[in-house]
Amino acid sequence: MTTATAAAIPAAKRSISEDISTLTVVANGEVFGLPIQTVQTIFRISSLAPVPMGPPDVAGLVNLRGKIVTAVSLRRRLKMENDLVETNALAIGIEHKGEYFCLVVDRVGEVLALDESKKIPIPPHFDPERLRLTTEFYRIGSMLIPVLDVGALFDFAK
């Protein structure tokens, strides 16, 4: 399953009436939005090579169509419990700053058009550690959907 990529539009430059399309992903039962323009492919990991002395959030390296890709666990990145990444795990292929990554998630949901009128302020209870990995929050029915910041997800210096 492959999705065409498009240039990202920074939140500050979007018009008020413009919706943002996100792919919903689930980690440890929590739903997050991933900007659809960042998604290149969705696949299952067939084998995973460990990265000795790599950052703890890196689950390993995978071969994706002949490219060596760094697999990053969303659970580990968000400091969630039960962060074991196994063979056959679901991953989303993303190119960021000329590097290839895959984000390992529990489940992929649907593509949602998030209406700017559903955007809410940062919830006061939201974990500051997770806050640095998000850009915006939306309320859709009873769900709170934090939109993940792809740059922050793959910037291990922060």
**88-120 pLDDT, tens digit each:** 889 999 988 888 999 999 999 999 998 888 999
What would be the CATH architecture of the domain defined by 18-149? Beta Barrel (2.40)
What is the rounded distance in angstroms from the CA atom of residue 95 to the CA atom of residue 18?
24
**16-43 pLDDT, tens digit each:** 445 789 999 999 999 999 999 999 999 9
pTM for the model stands at 0.82
Average pLDDT over residues 47-57: 90
